[in-house]
């Protein structure tokens, strides 16, 4: 159970982040659901959690903005007095072949996925260090492990998240703070909805389990990493990909 725990999930208005927020709340945590543009969706997701008997609040912040992340973390601490679980889930794709990729598409993906993860950890770590406890969970990807043609920016950002996870885990371990990552494969969300039927078919052929994951299947592993069931794990990258990267 996560009773009395306070969690912040970035990119929780929909998809995997929303599923993680719901599962953390079901276990008793107060959950802050961060969003960037989808205010209505985030507020609806928070309201659904409250209706189901949980505690939740939606918070706007562009994770790519260093100062905005500082304010978001400070407001969580001001309201709840602590932060126990930080899930860095916010992410975007801007796919294209390297030869045609614009500087802007490269920068936007790196700024959101990698710098965004740094930004929240950087500001939250101050409070986690004082608490001498906490669990940080970062969302990386099978693309960050294997690479993926057409996703040079995204793969670089997610490989960066793996390095960031391991370095942060080493820095914070002595204060009882654990830092781990989840590496999903192909998950059915808005992010993958726009892919062509041909690309979806090709991806399914690479998955030994032969199907895409639901957001809940990724959220279950994030919940495990947030809980004391993983109390002796830090610096780990857990693949949840139907066997893609084995």
Q: Strand, helix or coil at 206?
A: coil
Structure tokens at 200: 């979806």
Closest approach, Cβ 38 to ligand NAP, in A, equals: 3
Contact call for residue 63 and ligand NAP (CB under 6 A): yes
Interacting residues with ligand NAP between 173 and 202 (CB under 6 A): 184, 186-187, 189-192
Contact, 242 vs 209, CB < 8 A?
A: yes
Neighbours of 102 (CB within 10 A): 11
Binding to ligand NAP by CB under 6 A, coded x per residue (else -) over 25-44, reads ---------xxxxx------
**Residue with Cβ nearer ligand NAP (38 or 230):** 38
Locus of tokens 């199907």: 211
Rounded-to-10 torsion of CA 46, 49, 53, 58:
-20
Q: Which DSSP helix (H) or strand (E) runs through 161? A: helix 152-172
Pairing of strands 177-184, 237-240: parallel
Instruction: Rank residues 125 and 141 by Cβ distance to ligand NAP and give the closer one.
Output: 141
Nearest to 245 by CA among 151, 166, 145, 135: 145
- Which span sits near ligand NAP by CB under 6 A: 8-16, 44-52, 123-131, 169-177? 8-16
The torsion of the CA quartet 156, 160, 163, 169, rounded to 10 degrees, works out to -150
Whether residue 154 lies in the annotated active site: yes
CB under 6 A: which stretch of 50-58, 61-69, 129-137, 219-227 binds ligand NAP? Answer: 61-69
Q: In angstroms, what is the minimal distance from the CB of 184 to ligand NAP?
A: 4
Give me the catalytic one of 32, 35, 154, 186: 154
| Segment contacting ligand NAP by CB under 6 A, of 47-55, 62-70, 99-107, 125-133 | 62-70
Least distance from ligand NAP to the Cβ atom of residue 148, Å: 10
> How far, CA to CA in Å, does 6 sit from each of 49, 77, 146?
14, 9, 34
- List residues binding ligand NAP (CB under 6 A): 10-17, 34-38, 62-64, 89-92, 112, 139, 141, 184, 186-187, 189-192
Question: Which sequence positions are flagged as catalytic?
Answer: 154
């Amino acid at each position: 159970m996560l009773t009395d725990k306070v969690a912040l999930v970035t990119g929780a208005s929909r998809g995997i982040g929303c599923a993680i927020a719901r599962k953390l709340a079901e276990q008793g945590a107060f959950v802050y659901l961060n969003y960037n543009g989808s205010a209505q969706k985030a507020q609806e997701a928070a309201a659904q959690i409250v209706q189901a008997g949980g505690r939740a609040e939606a918070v706007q912040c562009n994770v790519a903005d260093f100062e905005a992340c500082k304010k978001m973390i400070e407001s969580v601490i001001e309201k709840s007095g602590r932060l126990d679980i930080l899930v860095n889930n916010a992410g975007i794709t801007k796919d294209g072949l390297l030869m045609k990729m614009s500087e802007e598409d490269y920068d936007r993906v790196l700024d959101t996925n990698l710098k965004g993860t740094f930004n929240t950890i950087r500001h939250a770590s101050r409070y986690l260090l004082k608490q001498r406890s906490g669990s940080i969970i970062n969302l990386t990807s099978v693309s960050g492990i294997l690479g993926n043609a057409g996703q040079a920016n995204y793969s670089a950002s997610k490989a960066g998240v793996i390095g960031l996870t391991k370095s942060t885990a080493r820095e914070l371990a002595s204060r009882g703070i654990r830092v781990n990552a989840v590496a999903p494969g192909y998950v059915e969300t808005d992010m993958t909805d726009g892919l062509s039927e041909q690309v979806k078919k090709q991806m399914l052929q690479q998955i030994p389990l032969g199907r895409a994951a639901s957001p809940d299947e990724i959220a279950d592993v994030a919940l495990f990493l947030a809980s004391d069931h993983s109390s002796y794990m830090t610096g780990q990258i857990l693949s949840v990909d139907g066997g893609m990267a084995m």
